[in-house]
Structure 1
């Protein structure tokens, strides 16, 4: 169940305007100074050197991307996502899940797979597991079962809006699977029965490039038999005819035969990733791709400008430029993306597919929670509402807004091997940050919490943290 901030209208746009570039750059410098001070105080080496924490650099980039979203979003629900304490909770909850995993909980969430980096990553993990489980079960049911990978695209130009392209994509897909040519009739077989298609799983992916917004579909077709090359060609041709005709009925040009529809036997991708992860790439994988982009050797800024970008890559460009004003074209693109992606589904299943494949039906809100937690989840500390919203003396920033510091806490607690060690680590780092907290419903005295400050010397810092 999605929890949103009380007295906030999910669909209330922000006032027009935004910070000017110079103001944004000054804010960036302040954040960098605060980060340097925090690293010195915490003994950054001692936190970052723990290799058992899963992809810490990637996680830090994810937090930075999410904070950029806070600055430019046009919607209250997104601006409060993973930021404000949820109504009725009273406190932010620091939780340890298992070695290498910890998180903050009891916060408002948007559960937006499209516009919230943190929500998208969590939801994507759950969706990838769902699809992988479904495929595993499908292949176990019968030896002759197979899977075909279908890609569908539209011919479009930059004059066509994101909403127009997306609506046409949905309409054209219905044209493929909703008519008698697919379902069949009393006197003849449709493509579904003729080619043995029992189920399908559909995923939407979007990019923006020189020709505007490009929204396309990836579909897994689950068949009760292996297709020959001739059968595959015939099914592809039939799908193209219906896809093209539907697009033209909406005023779009017919997509080319070579690129409009492509059907191929499903295999693992070139990196060995399974189909479940690939199909969920609109969320978890696209976030990871965005965050790892600068880490890829030989990736030049010229290449970045020339290529199509995912929405999260657009957000990352805004982050790197520190320009959150509406004069920045990327901010305008992002706001258009927020508006037109709202309420749309990223992954859909054919009727009865989840039941037949042993997958539980869960909402994006439930999927986000599953993606963040595990069966060993324990609460190791609580930070009350007043403390969560208090401007700290060292940085002047509220903990609710300081994703970098919150990330340091999560990383350090995640290094614990047991719940008991996680409790100790939570106490050590929260005291070091002069954050008032509670454990097991026993308040920590404010003077004690403020008294334990890690020394600037990184060797001493590491000793104190490791001793905790």
Structure 2
């Protein structure tokens, strides 16, 4: 168990190390946060390389018209078919010689008024200033060819600033996403992390059903797809999801404390199927420090227990508590 500081004015955050990871970027909040952090670093390397080479960067957003009754698996498969058709369209082939490469990110929201909303973000690296507007008609035609439909909003082209802002949000702390779980219940829907939080924290059965559908459909799919040769050209190494999910120091992270939990104590008192205390132990470690939290655990105190101390409480000299106690006047004596 490791405590880390992420900057002045912020309390230490505690996380576990040395645990087996599943490497699922779609279904596991823990692995997803670490994998996304690695992917964000890779994309930032790409943008830095493109700037150094004076290349043009654009971001395209591709989507389709969708409804509440649409099946997610079928909708996503049709969109992938449309994207294959798009890359074969005459307008795309005319612009392709000016494309150095591209990266496609797949995202989805669900639970809104119009059901599932899968969409692609495509970061395009170009060797010169290029008008990508002809690709709009090519995308709409490709949607129709795949049995879908789309209006003008189905295609959006933005500049390098938008691409940079989008990539900057990759790898954001999972708690930031989960803190917004009560938003997006209307037309736009909720992210998978928000659906999972709604199911667990709010007993939202619909959110749980939608999350289970999403996890099943996205299992085995790739989150980011780089065009052939672009990683090597930009000097970005190959790291698969399982490697990216392993413990690693993140940007701005400084280790402040570390404590080891004996294996049997972990199995018997923390990671227990019917009384899982992993989150409570992290809360306790952030309150008193990893060493003290583990010492309490070994002594038989479970996370969340009220611990009785042998010595009476004495405030720290010169502290606010000591000053407050000193300001309390004794009651006036009544009578003789």
Aligned with residue 137 of structure 1, among 49, 73, 76: 49
Unaligned segments of structure 2, at least 5 residues: 301-306, 318-336
Q: 1:431 and 2:295 equivalent?
A: yes
Q: TM-score, normalised by structure 2?
A: 0.77
Distance 1:215 1:286 in 2: 22
Residue among 198, 212, 227 paired with 1:317: 198
User: Could you report, residue by residue, the CA deviation over 1:405-452 in whole angstroms, capped at 9, with x for unpaired residues?
Assistant: 332366369xxxxxxxxxxx543331123368xxxxxxxxxxxxxxxx
CA-based RMSD:
3.8
Tell me, yes or no, if the aligned pair for 1:202 and 1:219 is still in contact at 8 Å: yes
The answer as to whether partners of 1:111 and 1:364 remain within 8 angstroms in 2 is yes
Structure 1 CA distance, aligned partners of 2:64 and 2:311? 59
Alignment of 1:300-339 (within 5 A): 304-305=185-186, 307-322=188-203, 328-339=205-216
Structure-to-structure mapping, 1:237-386, within 5 angstroms: 237=134, 239-252=135-148, 254-256=149-151, 258-268=152-162, 274-278=165-169, 280=170, 284-285=171-172, 287-293=174-180, 304-305=185-186, 307-322=188-203, 328-369=205-246, 371=248, 380-386=258-264
In 2, are the aligned partners of 1:103 and 1:410 still within 8 Å (CA)?
no
CA distance in 2, matches of 1:397, 1:132: 40
Work out the CA distance in 2 between the residues paired with 1:139 and 1:399: 53
Partner residue of 2:95 out of 187, 191, 214: 191
Q: Supply the distance in 1 between the matched residues of 2:23 and 2:241 (Cα, whole angstroms).
A: 6
Where does structure 1 lack aligned partners over 5 or more consecutive residues?
Answer: 1-46, 57-99, 184-189, 295-300, 414-424, 437-452, 464-468
- Give secondary structure in 2 for the equivalent of 1:433: helix
Conserved 8 A contact 1:388-1:399 = no
Q: Aligned pair in 2 of structure 1 residues 364, 409: CA closer, same or farther (>3 Å)?
A: farther
SS of the residue 2:245 aligns to? helix
Q: CA deviation at 1:458?
A: 11
CA contact (8 A) 1:391 1:398 kept: no
- For 1:284-307, what per-residue CA distance to the aligned partner results, in whole angstroms no more than 9, with x for missing partners? 34945432327xxxxxx6874454
Q: Cα offset for 1:341?
A: 1.0
The whole-number CA distance in structure 1 between the counterparts of 2:311 and 2:147 is 67
What is aligned with 1:388?
Answer: 266
CA offsets 1:243-268 (integer angstroms, 9 cap, x no match)? 2233223322x211x21111122215
Between the aligned partners of 1:146 and 1:262, the Cα distance in structure 2 is: 17
1:129–1:277 CA contact under 8 A, matched in 2: no
1:205 touches 1:215 (CA, 8 Å); kept in 2? Answer: yes
Deviations 1:181-228 (A, max 9, x none): 534xxxxxx2112xx21111111110111111110011111111223x
User: Which structure 2 residues correspond to residues 171-250 of structure 1 after superposition, within 5 A?
Assistant: 171-178=81-88, 181-183=91-93, 190-193=94-97, 196-208=98-110, 209-227=112-130, 232=131, 235-237=132-134, 239-250=135-146
Number of residue pairs aligned between Structure 1 and Structure 2:
307
Q: Larger C-alpha radius of gyration, 1 or 2?
A: 2
Judged with a 3 Å threshold, the aligned counterparts in structure 2 of structure 1 residues 132 and 166 are, in CA distance, closer, same or farther, namely same
Maintained 8 Å contact 1:124/1:371: no
Give the drift of 1:128.
0.8
CA distance in 1, matches of 2:87, 2:71: 25
Quick check: 1:134–1:359 contact (8 Å CA) kept in 2?
Answer: yes
Contact 2:35 2:245 in 1 (8 A): yes
> TM-score, normalising length from structure 1?
0.57
CA–CA distance in structure 1, aligned partners of residues 232 and 129 of structure 2: 23
Q: Does the residue aligned with 2:44 lie in a helix, a strand or coil?
A: helix
Q: Is the 8 A contact 2:109 2:118 kept in 1?
A: yes
Deviation of 1:236 (Å): 2.4
Distance change >3 Å, CA 155–CA 458, structure 1 → 2 = farther
Structure 2 SS opposite 1:382: coil
2: CA distance, partners of 1:132 / 1:432: 43
